[in-house]
């Protein structure tokens, strides 16, 4: 194990401002409570009415049937007007409009975001570099082609997606990420990607354009949040098939009912049959299905994640293996002092003091952590040492330290280097030293040896600083949660197996891949997938791209390279790797919401039958009035109440569809129990109450009572 | 030999061949084997449970036959179509029931008529007439009546034959079969056996 | 003993017997269909028929074999009836009329065994045993084969092979049905069922009349008729005929035979998919619904509401004395819950609600436990639907036994579920408003509607029992019920085998805490809910105008 790279830990400073918290900054906060506010509904109403276009409606078979029913009943109401006919016709229209309203409300939320993104795309003039003369020419951003090189200086808006090929600059990406702190973009390496619409704050860079205008990341984002490029996801398609199937069954049921009614001398009016049909087909879920999908994507956007396909969001719910990079995701990214181990009979206080002295000038996170640890654990205040000579770390000496004005030298560094220094200074390395160093290494920590040499004296080993990868707070709990959700976590690290095992144990991950090279990651993903698992991972580097592409859910960090972003199917604008866990939850929530509302919708039919069947036939077969368990006022009020309930429940459930059914990290069995109880049993009971209440109201309407 | 990729015709030819072979095994071999075992173990049953009286086959223990007149226990109504013995047929070649529905006025009428007739015939109150006496059986060949129906016929039969009612009642008890295994079905009286025994009383 | 207590105990006896045998029989079934070695007689049979017993088939090939075998079966059975007069053992009976032959052939090949003929008047012994009884065996074996193919689809992964239909058919016939049927037939003879090849005998009755007592290979046909959930009676009176069902013991025994394979197959399913609890969850749902219907039927029949039963003092019209009301009602539920269609009493004469129970039993789609094989594959399709609905509620793409339920699977499930209601509702709708349909009705009012609804429900579900008052031997009914049985049998099989093929291809998703468990009581409850709601919502309006209108009056 190398103990050298104390100072070369990978910096994560270009990550988000809150690396510790699992929740990144939110662009917007959930406003689910305000979803039903009249202003929102009124704003969406024109869009909802426009969606009554049959060409739009036909894509949703359930609601298309409702619209056809509305037309038929309206015609009949015109031909043979009655209060009942008009009530039914109007409420069938309202049912169709409510469904469109749900979709329109969901879309309007995306539109607001799209508008703010569009502002960043305002016409940009690009400064195109002309190869031969090295001069530049101003061209509209929309005329750039792939391979063009453009110059951007402080104040310029980058005209398109590309790669920095020259220079380094700080860039304001707030238009996309909503994060105001500037980020560094430089030629070469993993921080070379720039996004069109972002602004250069300082310095000068040359950008090679990699994406055609109109297909840039910003364009894609706008399309996504607007829902313009929304395609039906596999599960949505499957559910649609089921809903279409149920609709056909009920169409048949109603179609066959009339001949049977005729046989029974109880011929029904077409209006009543239309009402029954609309009540039976799964309008609740049919109306809300697309809103649920849009809202699911929207919830991701609110967490600053862009899913490039709805399929990925669904897959997130199915993920059973999560690959997490150790650094920055599981651990803080920098090692921290966690213990001082004196050797050779050294007094711990003295060791602490020496360690702190040696680190005073060490501005690395590790160095600072030694100062802090000495202060917190041993009460040693940071001392202001004047006239001291600080010895910086160098690759040759592999040590750093301080030479005090009194001539005392303090050093800390790699064990071998410090031992060498001690021997050179005439000192001896006590017997226990190697053992203490190995003990620290053995637990996955990084040992730093501390030694002092008084002026003119012999050098003396004081002890070992135990630097440790610190696991972020609460990680073990989160992994426990994931385990209960049936998700296995695998930690990916470049560390040796020993270190990896120790951290894996502490963090509570299920498995780890040590000394991982990018191709190992890819192989691991393939292996998991062959076993039937769905794999999610995050990545940012170009060498992550193949693995990101292979993973079922590949979340690229926005700070990452273009290659990574193109390979993945989601981009996290906050570049917070922990967010994978939230993404999984959102995916699950999306599916749960669909399932819950489908169950609710189908369960509702029971009560509607009890309302409508007696209403239709009790006049001919009085015995059937025993099915009128709700004691509805009259046959017309019963049918109208069922239809009205059917329409109103759609609007009442819009907030649930938008917000999603509350998800808790629990086992599938306990989730199922809870949701079946609420949406299955609830779906049976609620309409009995609702229809009865509506009946109490509408029975006062003259002509219905 | 492989059928997996052969054409349409070959597939049907193979299907026909396998069906013919299975027909030989299942359609000929199996019933013959069952018959052979039946002949050895349960010869009488396999033949149709014939009942002999005075060296003459008088019927099958399992197949109801019509009895009329005061001196005999009467079976249930048989409505096995044209062959039902209510229609003057012998029943056995045309099993079946009335198929009249529970709210069919025709059935209600028939039940009332039977109730009145049975009550009159046996000199009991109409309320004493048990359900099986006023309904038609499923097979039209029901060999049994309920012990209750037998009970209300005892006095009539005894009187007609001029024998003590107690003797007849004892015979009824003898030919009353309880529930099989103590719980299966309903207790019932085999009419043919009872009538043959009654005939011997004189 | 109190009749209710006796009935409860006899149901207990039945349940106990099924509990005892379902494991050994289920294990045996699993072994039969998983084994790789052929019996000598089977090898001979394959050689004689020219089929390869070792190759496995993809689902389209499996399906083509099912259809080819069934098509040939229909033709052969049709032909046999049309020429029976010239065959041995015909008892001199005439060739069967074309429309009746067609109807009977379609009906027996599809395991429906709807009978528009009266056995003792129309069919000779040879047609009965070499035609009808053979189809009793092989149509059940086809059902088993399709069920096993679906199980393989669930159990296997990353393959396009579902097994070999010819092998499955042969094993089902020879290793499963034949030995069981033989033992059962001997038991039936032991209790009085007839088994001979004669015309019967003439008896000289006590009162001097001549009574013809019929003969025939009855016991051998009776046992496979129940065991294969076929239901086509040797005689017109079916299992009410004392020669088919001589005592109350044989009555319970026949119900046991009816339920034997359908209730054992889920155990085989559990074994074949490597998790017996999965089988128990399925069988529990079947048992709950089935027992519920037994209780419901028993209660209404015992209380005998309705004009005629009230006038008679009991619901005894169309019931045999030796069975009584409750044993008959048990049989009626057993037969309608299993697509058997044998009857020991006339459902048409049941109380309106008791008859309604038999009708609703079939509306459930014959999956609780359903016919031999067909019950399980139907139940598994509905399980997939239950999984889809409930599975979403745990936040994953729904999966059953590790197989994801995607668009293709849902399409097949949706189509499967559509077939039966579509067939029943369309034909019923036509029949109730046409003279051809209504002129066959025997009973007036809502009951007439029930008769027609029952006919098509029975046909499309391959049950075969009838509200016998309907004169079904007309051109109209022979043709439409014949079409219904074919649609109701083979169209779903197409979807089931396609589903099996689609499932077999998938890699299994390993189970984890995030997987919706399908072996728990909660799943059973859900499964029951889905079965009841799907059927209930589809048929409630029709039931309201039939049995409910009559029964609640």
The confidence score (pLDDT) of residue A26 equals 39
Q: How confident is the model at residue A356 (pLDDT cuts 50, 70, 90)?
A: confident
The yes-or-no verdict on residue A17 having pLDDT over 60 is no
Going by their DSSP bridges, the two strands A162-172 and A183-186 should be labelled as antiparallel
Bigger pLDDT: A611 or A201? Answer: A611
Q: Which two tokens stand for residue C516?
A: 């919706």
Lowest mean pLDDT among A447-451, A514-518, C186-190: A514-518
Q: Which domain holds residue C153?
A: 17-274
The total number of structural domains in chain C stands at 1
**Residue C135 is assigned to a structural domain of this protein:** yes
Chains B and C lie in contact, requiring 3 or more CB pairs less than 8 Å apart: yes
Residue from the list C428, C510, C537 with its beta carbon closest to the beta carbon of A256: C428
**Residue C344 is assigned to a structural domain of this protein:** no
Q: Known catalytic residues of A?
A: 325
d(CA C126, CA C106): 18
DSSP string covering C39-106, please?
PHHHHHHHHHHT--SS--B-HHHHHHHHHHHHHHHHHHHHHHHHTGGGSTT-TTPPPPPHHHHHHHHH
DSSP string covering C137-195, please?
HHHHHHHHHHHHHHHHHHH--S----B-HHHHHHHIIIIIIHHHHHHHHHHHHHTT--B
Bigger pLDDT: C407 or A484? Answer: C407
The yes-or-no verdict on residue B192 having pLDDT over 50 is yes
**Residue C429 is assigned to a structural domain of this protein:** no
Nearest to C183 by CA among B43, B32, B34, B22: B34
Lowest mean pLDDT among A74-83, A471-480, C419-428, C480-489: A471-480
Return all residues near C447 (Cβ < 8 A) that are at least 6 apart: B101, B102, B103, B104, C348, C352, C546, C550
Mean pLDDT value across chain A: 85
Bigger pLDDT: A295 or A364? Answer: A295
Residue A189, sorted as left (phi over 0), alpha (psi -120 to 50) or beta, turns out to be left
d(CA C34, CA C23): 16
- Measured in whole angstroms, the distance separating CA A657 from the mean position of its chain's CA atoms is 18
The confidence score (pLDDT) of residue A20 equals 34
Looking up tokens 């995607």 gives C406
Nearest to A613 by CA among A279, A245, A255: A279
The yes-or-no verdict on residue B149 having pLDDT over 50 is yes
Residue contact C390–A595, C-beta within 8 A: yes
**Residue C352 is assigned to a structural domain of this protein:** no
Hey, which chains touch B, using 3+ CB pairs under 8 Å? C
Lowest mean pLDDT among A144-153, A204-213, B92-101: B92-101
d(CA A646, CA A643): 5
Nearest to B138 by CA among C317, C301, C334: C317
Return all residues near B171 (Cβ < 8 A) that are at least 6 apart: B194, B197, B198, B201
Residues from chain A contacting residue C552 (CB–CB below 8 Å): 621, 623-624, 626-627
**Residue C301 is assigned to a structural domain of this protein:** no
Alpha helix ranges (H) inside A26-82 = 38-50, 54-57, 61-79
Residue from the list C181, C221, C311 with its beta carbon closest to the beta carbon of B108: C311
Lowest mean pLDDT among A260-274, A313-327, B98-112, C11-25: A313-327
The confidence score (pLDDT) of residue A159 equals 86
ipTM summary value = 0.95
**3-state SS class at B57:** strand
Nearest to C464 by CA among C451, C481, C449, C477: C481
Nearest to C89 by CA among C193, C210, C215: C215
Nearest to C297 by CA among C347, C370, C369: C347
**Residue C293 is assigned to a structural domain of this protein:** no
Q: CA angle, corner B135, sides to B134 and B138, nearest 5?
A: 155
The yes-or-no verdict on residue A6 having pLDDT over 60 is no
In C, minimum Cα distance to B54 occurs at C206
Peptide bond into C80 cis (omega under 30): no
pLDDT digits (tens, 9 = 90+) for B66-123: 898 999 999 998 876 555 544 445 545 678 888 999 999 999 999 999 999 999 999 9
Nearest to A602 by CA among C535, C487, C481: C535
Residue contact B93–C69, C-beta within 8 A: no
pTM comes to 0.89
The confidence score (pLDDT) of residue C77 equals 97
> In DSSP terms, which residues pair with A390 in a beta bridge?
A402
The yes-or-no verdict on residue A23 having pLDDT over 70 is no
A85 near A76, Cβ under 8 Å? yes
The confidence score (pLDDT) of residue B6 equals 53
- Measured in whole angstroms, the distance separating CA A555 from the mean position of its chain's CA atoms is 9
The confidence score (pLDDT) of residue A384 equals 66
**Residue C11 is assigned to a structural domain of this protein:** no
d(CA A651, CA A657): 10
B194 interfaces chain C, CB cutoff of 8 Å: no
> In DSSP terms, which residues pair with A409 in a beta bridge?
A403, A453
Mean pLDDT value across chain B: 90
Return all residues near B9 (Cβ < 8 A) that are at least 6 apart: none
Count CB pairs under 8 A between chains A and C.
Answer: 233
The confidence score (pLDDT) of residue A353 equals 87
pLDDT digits (tens, 9 = 90+) for A526-578: 999 998 899 999 887 777 888 889 999 999 888 777 788 888 888 888 878 77
Q: How confident is the model at residue A27 (pLDDT cuts 50, 70, 90)?
A: very low
pLDDT digits (tens, 9 = 90+) for C131-143: 999 999 999 999 9
Looking up tokens 């229809």 gives A691
For chain A, what percent of residues have pLDDT higher than 90? 36
Residue from the list C395, C406, C515 with its beta carbon closest to the beta carbon of A317: C395
Residue contact C392–A669, C-beta within 8 A: no
Neighbours of A248 (CB within 10 A): 19
Return all residues near A142 (Cβ < 8 A) that are at least 6 apart: A123, A213, A214
What is the length of chain B?
A: 202
CA atoms within 13 A on the CB side of C95: 10
The confidence score (pLDDT) of residue C304 equals 96
Mean of pLDDT values over A468-485: 83
Going by their DSSP bridges, the two strands A321-325 and A535-539 should be labelled as parallel
Nearest to A250 by CA among A279, A227, A229: A279
pLDDT digits (tens, 9 = 90+) for C463-517: 999 998 999 999 999 999 999 999 999 999 999 999 999 999 999 988 888 888 9
Q: Which two tokens stand for residue A673?
A: 């129990």
DSSP string covering C302-356, please?
HH--SHHHHHHTSS-TTB-TTTHHHHHHHHHHHHHTTT----SB-GGGS-HHHHH
d(CA A478, CA B196): 87
| Closest Cα in chain B, distance from residue C143 (Å) | 16
In C, minimum Cα distance to A530 occurs at C507
DSSP string covering A227-295, please?
TTT----HHHHHHHHHHHHHHHHHHHHHHHHHHHHHHTT----HHHHHHHHHHHS-HHHHHHHHHHHHH
d(CA A369, CA A365): 6
Residues from chain C contacting residue B26 (CB–CB below 8 Å): 133-134, 137-138, 173, 178
Q: What is the CA radius of gyration of chain B?
A: 24
Nearest to C73 by CA among B6, B31, B32, B22: B22
Regions of chain C where pLDDT drops below 70? none
Looking at residue B28, what DSSP letter applies? I
Residue contact C393–A255, C-beta within 8 A: no
pLDDT digits (tens, 9 = 90+) for B1-41: 444 455 788 889 999 999 999 999 999 999 999 999 999 99
The yes-or-no verdict on residue A620 having pLDDT over 90 is yes
**3-state SS class at A506:** helix
Mean of pLDDT values over A473-485: 84
């Amino acid at each position: 194990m190398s103990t050298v790279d104390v100072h070369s830990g990978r910096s994560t400073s270009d990550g988000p401002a809150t690396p510790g918290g699992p929740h990144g900054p939110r662009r917007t906060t959930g406003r689910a409570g305000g979803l039903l506010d009249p202003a929102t509904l009124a704003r969406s109403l024109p869009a909802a009415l426009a969606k009554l276009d049959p060409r739009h409606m036909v894509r949703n078979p359930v609601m298309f049937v409702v619209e056809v029913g509305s037309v038929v009943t309206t015609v009949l109401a015109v031909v043979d007007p009655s209060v009942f006919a008009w009530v039914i016709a109007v409420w069938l229209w309202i049912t169709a409009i409510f469904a469109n309203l749900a979709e329109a409300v969901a879309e309007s939320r995306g539109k607001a975001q799209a508008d703010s993104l569009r502002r960043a795309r305002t016409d940009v003039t690009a400064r195109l570099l002309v190869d031969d003369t090295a001069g530049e020419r101003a061209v509209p951003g929309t005329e750039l082609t792939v391979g063009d090189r453009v110059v951007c200086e402080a104040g310029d808006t980058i005209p398109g997606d590309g790669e920095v090929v020259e220079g380094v600059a700080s860039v304001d990406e707030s238009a996309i990420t909503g994060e105001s702190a500037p980020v560094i973009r430089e030629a070469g390496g993993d921080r070379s990607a720039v996004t069109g619409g972002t602004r250069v704050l300082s310095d000068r860079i040359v950008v090679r354009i990699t994406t055609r205008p109109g297909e840039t990341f910003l364009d894609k984002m706008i399309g996504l949040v607007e829902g313009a490029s929304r395609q039906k996801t596999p599960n949505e398609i499957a559910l649609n098939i089921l809903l279409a199937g149920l609709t056909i069954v009920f169409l048949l049921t109603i179609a066959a009912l009339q001949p049977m009614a005729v046989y029974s001398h109880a011929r029904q009016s077409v209006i009543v049959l239309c009402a029954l049909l609309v009540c039976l087909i799964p309008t609740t879920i049919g109306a809300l299905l697309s809103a649920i999908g849009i809202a699911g994507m929207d919830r991701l956007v609110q967490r600053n994640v862009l899913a490039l396909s709805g399929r990925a969001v669904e897959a997130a719910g199915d993920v059973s293996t999560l690959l997490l990079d150790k650094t920055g995701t599981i651990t803080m990214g920098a090692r921290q002092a966690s213990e001082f181990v004196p050797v050779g009979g050294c007094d711990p206080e003295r060791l602490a003091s020496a360690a702190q002295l040696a680190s005073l000038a060490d501005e690395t996170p590790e160095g600072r952590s030694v100062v802090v640890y000495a202060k917190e654990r041993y009460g040693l205040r940071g001392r202001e040492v004047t006239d001291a000579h600080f010895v910086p770390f160098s690759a040759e000496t592999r040590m750093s330290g301080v030479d005090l004005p009194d001539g005392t030298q303090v050093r800390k560094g790699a064990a071998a280097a410090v031992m060498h220094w001690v021997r050179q200074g005439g000192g001896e390395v006590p017997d226990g030293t190697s053992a203490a160093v190995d003990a620290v290494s053995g637990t996955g920590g990084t040992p730093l040896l501390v030694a002092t040499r008084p002026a003119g004296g012999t050098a003396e080993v004081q002890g070992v600083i135990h630097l440790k990868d610190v696991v972020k707070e609460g990680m073990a709990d989160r992994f426990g949660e994931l385990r209960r959700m049936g998700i296995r976590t695998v930690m990916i690290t470049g560390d040796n197996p020993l270190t990896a095992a120790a951290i894996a144990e502490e963090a509570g991950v299920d498995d780890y891949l040590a000394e991982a090279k990018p191709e190992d990651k890819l192989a691991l993903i393939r292996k998991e997938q062959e076993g039937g698992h769905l794999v999610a991972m995050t990545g940012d580097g170009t060498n992550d791209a193949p693995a990101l592409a292979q993973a079922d859910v590949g979340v690229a960090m926005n700070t990452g390279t273009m290659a990574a972003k193109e390979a993945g199917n989601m981009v996290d604008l906050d570049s917070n790797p922990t967010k994978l866990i939230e993404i999984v939850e959102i995916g699950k929530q999306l599916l749960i919401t669909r399932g819950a509302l489908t169950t609710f919708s189908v369960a509702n039919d029971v009560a509607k039958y009890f309302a409508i069947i007696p209403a239709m036939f009790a006049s001919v077969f009085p015995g059937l009035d025993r099915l009128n368990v709700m004691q509805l006022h009259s046959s017309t009020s019963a049918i109208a109440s069922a239809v009205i309930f059917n329409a109103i429940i759609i609007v009442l459930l819009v907030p649930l569809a938008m917000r999603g059914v509350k998800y808790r990290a629990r086992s599938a069995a306990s989730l199922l129990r809870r949701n079946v109880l609420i949406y299955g049993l609830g779906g049976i009971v609620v309409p009995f109450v609702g229809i009865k209440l509506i009946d109490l109201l509408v029975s006062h309407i003259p002509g219905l009572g | 030999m492989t059928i997996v990729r052969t054409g349409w015709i070959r597939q049907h030819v193979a299907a026909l061949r396998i069906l013919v072979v299975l027909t030989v095994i299942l359609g000929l071999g199996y019933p013959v084997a069952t018959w052979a075992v039946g002949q050895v173990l349960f010869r009488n049953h396999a033949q149709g449970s014939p009942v002999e009286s005075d060296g003459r086959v008088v019927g099958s223990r399992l197949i109801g036959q019509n009895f009329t007149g005061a001196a005999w226990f009467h079976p249930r109504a048989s409505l096995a179509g044209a062959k039902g013995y209510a229609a003057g047929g012998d029943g056995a070649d045309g099993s079946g029931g009335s198929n009249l529905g529970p709210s069919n006025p025709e059935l209600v009428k028939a039940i009332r008529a039977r109730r009145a007739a049975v009550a009159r015939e046996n000199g009991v109150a109409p309320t004493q007439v048990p359900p099986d006496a006023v309904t038609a059986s499923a097979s039209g060949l029901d060999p049994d009546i309920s012990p209750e129906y037998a009970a209300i016929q005892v006095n009539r039969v005894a009187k007609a034959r001029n024998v003590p009612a107690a003797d007849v009642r004892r015979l009824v008890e003898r030919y009353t079969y309880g529930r099989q295994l103590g719980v299966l079905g309903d207790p019932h009286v085999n009419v043919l056996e009872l009538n043959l025994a009654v005939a011997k009383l004189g | 003993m109190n009749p209710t207590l006796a009935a409860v105990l006899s149901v207990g006896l039945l349940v106990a017997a099924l509990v005892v045998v379902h494991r050994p029989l289920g294990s045996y079934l699993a072994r039969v269909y998983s084994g790789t070695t052929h019996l000598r007689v089977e090898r001979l049979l394959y050689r004689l028929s020219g089929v390869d017993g070792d190759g496995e088939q993809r689902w389209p090939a499996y399906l083509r074999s099912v259809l080819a075998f069934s098509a040939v079966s229909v033709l052969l059975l049709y032909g046999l009836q049309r020429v029976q007069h010239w065959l041995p053992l015909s008892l001199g009976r005439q060739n069967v009329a074309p429309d009746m032959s067609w109807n009977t052939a379609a009906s027996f090949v599809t395991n429906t065994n709807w009978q528009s003929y009266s056995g003792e008047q129309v069919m000779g012994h040879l047609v009965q045993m070499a035609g009808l009884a053979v189809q009793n065996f092989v149509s059940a074996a086809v059902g088993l084969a399709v069920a096993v193919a679906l199980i393989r689809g669930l159990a296997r992964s990353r393959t396009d092979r579902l097994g070999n239909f010819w092998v499955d058919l042969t094993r089902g016939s020879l290793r499963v049905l034949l030995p069981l049927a033989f033992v059962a037939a001997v038991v039936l003879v032991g209790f009085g069922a007839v088994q001979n090849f004669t015309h019967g005998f003439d008896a000289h009755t006590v009162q001097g009349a001549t009574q013809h007592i019929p003969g025939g290979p009855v016991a051998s046909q009776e046992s496979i008729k129940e065991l294969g959930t076929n239901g086509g009676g040797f005689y017109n009176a079916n299992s009410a005929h004392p020669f088919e069902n001589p005592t109350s013991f044989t009555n319970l025994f026949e119900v046991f035979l009816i339920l034997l394979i359908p209730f054992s197959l889920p155990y085989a399913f559990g074994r074949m998919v490597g998790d017996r609890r999965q089988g128990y969850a399925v069988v529990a749902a079947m048992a709950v619904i089935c027992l519920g219907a037994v209780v419901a039927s028993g209660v209404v029949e015992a209380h005998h509401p309705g004009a005629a039963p009230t006038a008679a003092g009991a619901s005894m019209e169309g019931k045999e004395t030796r069975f009584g009301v409750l044993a008959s009602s048990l049989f009626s539920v057993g037969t309608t819950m299993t697509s058997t269609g044998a009857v020991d009493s006339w459902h048409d004469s049941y109380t309106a609600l008791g008859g309604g129970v038999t009708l609703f039993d079939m509306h459930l789609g014959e999956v609780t436990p359903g016919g031999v094989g067909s019950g399980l594959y139907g139940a598994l399709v509905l399980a997939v639907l239950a999984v889809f609905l409930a599975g979403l509620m745990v936040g994953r793409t729904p999966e059953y036994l590790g197989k994801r339920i995607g668009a293709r699977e849902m399409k097949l499930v949706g189509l499967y579920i559509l077939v039966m209601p579509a067939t029943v509702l369309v034909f019923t709708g036509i029949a109730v408003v046409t003279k051809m349909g209504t002129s066959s009705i025997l009973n007036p009012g809502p009951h007439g509607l029930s008769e027609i609804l029952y006919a098509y429900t029975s046909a499309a579900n391959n049950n075969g029992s009838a509200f016998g008052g309907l004169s079904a031997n007309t051109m109209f009914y022979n043709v439409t019920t014949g079409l219904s049985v074919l649609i109701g049998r083979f169209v779903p099989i197409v979807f089931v085998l396609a589903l099996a093929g689609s499932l077999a291809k998938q890699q299994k998703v390993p189970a984890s805490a995030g997987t919706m468990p399908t072996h728990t009581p909660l799943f059973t409850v859900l499964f029951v809910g889905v079965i009841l709601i799907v059927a209930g919502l589809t048929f409630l309006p029709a039931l309201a105008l039939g049995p409910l209108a009559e029964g609640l009056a």
